């Protein structure tokens, strides 16, 4: 009994979704509408990435880790993010699926690894949505106070925090975005584009207002904590880049994904890098780094320091706009991961149901919105939010590994976009992400392991038995569907 069971487990863990069949299905069997343009895709990536991080993390990194060299910290972490964006671009252009890293892993590494990455992304997105909603609530409370409207603490905090019962603004922010996503992705993308433009406008206005107050003396000493401080700062500010990978979950709703996916991913990562470095440079020039110690809102602090007292309200407006777009894109990405996993049989089919009128996955959107709204309303996520970071970094590692594995196992498949400087870029992506995981708190790593154990129990209890590959058996594993062949494919070359 033991040997047959062991063989069954090994077979289950090693089965893969046929790559060529997966590519064909992406182009012919999608129930979603292809309506997103390259510009909307770039704005989608910016919307998912630029949020509270640029208003908070910059000051922490400058004061405690890097000093004025926080500029270099943002540059280094941004380059790592671009490495990941390049790896995502190759796989997303080749396999334009709403499942993102989950689908790439299914075809490149195997089903059990696909479940692991999908389960990781569920964790990442769910807690990211809740955390962003809590941040949105805080900025809305601040803006309301400026307008003379005080939200009672009992309705603005979770249980156990300042006499709170429920964080209603956080709940309403998620429910509002949920309804917007149900109406349709095109409408959501248009609103996101408007929000992103407002957000970028506020950031540019800050740069214009503060640039005239830059004091070059504040850049000396430039490396008060040495290069070790720069690298530590890079590990901190890297998390401000989290979110651009949500672009890949829109793969089945993009016009010409083979071309536009790389534009959206790399374009948004580059724009975010430029914005972050610019804000870091101006902030470091306006405020001596040691004055940013324990400052929760460094941008507001900088504006107040140079006499722009209305800066607090301005930053609150920008933060609310930024967090709204992050909320919109992250919730969107969460629903598409569920959609892809259910379509493959790893989750109940109802998670993949699409509304006949709106052409959106209404059930899973409502379910995700309801659960995350509950989390945001009742939980203080100050510690658990670190799980978002470890989930994202794990996804980056597996995607980069997928690029290497698929180059070896399927070198003949056409790749509309090829990761530059292969294999250097994916290897660097893997190593840098593992390094960042290693410096996370042990409690975070322990919680992540427990989450993964729970996920594997669900997989072997339901997913492994109901997977389409399991039901089709050897027939699914032997399907071969003609796909375009890349005449220039050469594994191992440096490009």
Alpha helix segments (H runs only) across 67-167: 70-94, 101-108, 111-146
- In the chain, where the domains are located: 34-478
Lowest-confidence pick of 19-28, 75-84, 226-235, 464-473: 19-28
Compute the distance between CA of residue 82 and CA of residue 80 in angstroms, rounded to an integer. Answer: 5
Model confidence over 81-95: pLDDT tens digits? 899 999 988 988 888
Strand partners, 167: 156
Q: Is the pLDDT of residue 272 over 60?
A: yes
Higher pLDDT, 88 or 3: 88
pLDDT of residue 483: 37
pLDDT of residue 484: 37
Who contacts 243 (Cβ-Cβ below 8 Å, separation ≥6)?
45, 48, 49, 51, 128, 326, 329, 330
pLDDT of residue 290: 86
pLDDT tier for residue 375 given thresholds of 50, 70 and 90:
confident
Higher pLDDT, 477 or 280: 280
pLDDT of residue 419: 92
Q: Is the pLDDT of residue 423 over 60?
A: yes
Preceding amide of 118 cis, omega within 30: no
Q: Is the pLDDT of residue 488 over 50?
A: no
Coil, helix or strand for 277? helix
Strand partners, 406: none
Who contacts 365 (Cβ-Cβ below 8 Å, separation ≥6)?
178, 181, 182, 331, 335
Query: Is 161 exposed, middle or buried (CB count within 10 Å of its CB: 0-12, 13-18, 19+)?
Result: middle
HSE-up of 6 (CA within 13 Å, CB side)? 3
pLDDT tier for residue 430 given thresholds of 50, 70 and 90:
very high
**Token digits of residue 210:** 């503060």
pLDDT of residue 486: 35
For residue 395, which of 462, 458, 448, 453 has the smallest C-alpha distance?
Answer: 448
Write the Ramachandran bin of 18: left for phi over 0, alpha for psi from -120 to 50, otherwise beta: beta
For residue 17, which of 489, 471, 469, 445 has the smallest C-alpha distance?
Answer: 469
How large a percentage of the chain has pLDDT more than 90?
Answer: 11
Estimate to the nearest angstrom the gap between the alpha carbon of 81 and the chain centroid.
11
Compute the distance between CA of residue 236 and CA of residue 239 in angstroms, rounded to an integer. Answer: 6
Q: Is the pLDDT of residue 296 over 60?
A: no
**Token digits of residue 108:** 């490149």
Model confidence over 360-369: pLDDT tens digits? 778 888 888 8
Q: Is the pLDDT of residue 372 over 80?
A: yes
Higher pLDDT, 465 or 314: 465
Higher pLDDT, 236 or 28: 236
For residue 342, which of 28, 99, 92 has the smallest C-alpha distance?
Answer: 99
Higher pLDDT, 59 or 400: 400
pTM of the entire predicted model: 0.76
Query: Is 412 exposed, middle or buried (CB count within 10 Å of its CB: 0-12, 13-18, 19+)?
Result: exposed
Mean pLDDT of 343-350: 86
For residue 108, which of 362, 399, 438 has the smallest C-alpha distance?
Answer: 399
Model confidence over 392-407: pLDDT tens digits? 888 889 889 989 998 9
130, 379 in Cβ contact below 8 A?
A: yes
pLDDT tier for residue 282 given thresholds of 50, 70 and 90:
very high
Average pLDDT, rounded, for the chain:
79
pLDDT of residue 333: 79
Q: Is the pLDDT of residue 476 over 60?
A: no
According to CATH, the topology of domain 34-478 is Amino acid/polyamine transporter I (1.20.1740)
pLDDT of residue 163: 67
Compute the distance between CA of residue 481 and CA of residue 479 in angstroms, rounded to an integer. Answer: 7
Higher pLDDT, 406 or 195: 406
Q: Is the pLDDT of residue 69 over 90?
A: yes
Q: Is the pLDDT of residue 471 over 80?
A: no
Cα dihedral across residues 305, 307, 309, 315: positive or negative: negative
315, 135 in Cβ contact below 8 A?
A: no
Mean pLDDT of 454-473: 83
DSSP letter string, 449-491:
HHHHHHHHHHIIIIIHHH-HHHHHTHHHHH------B-TT--T
pLDDT tier for residue 98 given thresholds of 50, 70 and 90:
low
248, 101 in Cβ contact below 8 A?
A: yes
- Dihedral angle over CA of 332, 393, 299, 192, nearest 10: -20
């Amino acid at each position: 009994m033991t040997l047959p069971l062991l063989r069954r487990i090994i077979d289950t863990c090693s089965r893969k979704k046929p790559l060529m069949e997966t590519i064909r299905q992406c182009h012919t069997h999608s129930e979603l509408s292809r309506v997103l343009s390259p510009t909307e895709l770039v704005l989608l990536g910016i919307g998912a990435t630029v949020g509270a991080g640029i208003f908070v993390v910059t000051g922490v990194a400058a004061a405690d880790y890097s000093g004025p060299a926080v500029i270099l910290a943002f540059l280094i972490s941004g380059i790592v993010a671009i490495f990941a964006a390049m790896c995502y671009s190759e796989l997303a252009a080749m396999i334009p699926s709403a499942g993102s890293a989950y689908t790439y892993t299914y075809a490149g590494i195997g089903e059990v690894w696909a479940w692991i990455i999908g389960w990781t992304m569920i964790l990442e997105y769910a807690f990211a949505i809740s955390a962003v909603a809590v941040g949105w609530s805080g900025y809305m409370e601040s803006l309301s106070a400026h307008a003379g409207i005080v939200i009672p603490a009992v309705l603005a905090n979770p249980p156990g925090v300042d006499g709170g019962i429920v964080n209603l603004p956080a709940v309403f922010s998620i429910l509002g975005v949920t309804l917007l996503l149900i109406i349709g992705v095109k409408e959501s993308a248009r609103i996101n584009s408007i929000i992103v433009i407002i957000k970028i406008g506020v950031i540019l206005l800050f740069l214009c207002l503060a640039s005239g107050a830059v004091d070059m003396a504040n850049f000396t000493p430039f490396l008060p904590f040495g290069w070790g401080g720069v690298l530590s700062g890079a590990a901190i500010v890297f998390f401000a880049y989290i979110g651009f990978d949500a672009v890949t979950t829109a793969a089945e709703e993009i016009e010409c994904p083979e071309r536009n996916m790389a534009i959206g991913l790399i374009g948004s990562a580059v724009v975010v890098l430029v914005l972050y470095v610019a804000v870091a440079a101006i902030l470091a020039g306006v405020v001596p780094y040691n004055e940013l110690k324990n400052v929760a809102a460094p941008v507001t602090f900088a504006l107040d320091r140079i006499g722009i007292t209305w800066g607090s309200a301005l930053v609150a407006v920008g933060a609310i706009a930024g967090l709204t777009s992050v909320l919109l894109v992250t919730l969107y990405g969460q629903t598409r991961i569920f959609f892809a996993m259910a379509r493959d049989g790893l989750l109940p089919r109802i998670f993949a149901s699409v509304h006949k009128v709106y052409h959106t996955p209404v059930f899973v959107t409502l379910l995700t919105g309801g659960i995350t709204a509950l989390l945001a309303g009742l939980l203080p996520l100050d510690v658990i939010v670190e799980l978002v970071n470890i989930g994202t970094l794990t996804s980056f590692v597996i995607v980069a590994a997928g690029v290497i594995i698929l180059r070896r196992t399927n070198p003949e498949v056409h790749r509309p976009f090829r990761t530059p400087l292969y294999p250097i870029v994916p290897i660097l992506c893997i190593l840098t992400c593992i390094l960042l995981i290693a410096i996370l708190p042990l409690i975070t790593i322990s919680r992540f392991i427990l989450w993964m154990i729970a996920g594997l129990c669900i997989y072997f209890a339901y997913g492994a038995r109901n997977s389409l590959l399991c039901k089709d058996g050897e027939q699914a594993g032997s399907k071969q569907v003609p796909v375009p062949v890349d005449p220039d494919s050469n594994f191992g070359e440096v490009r």
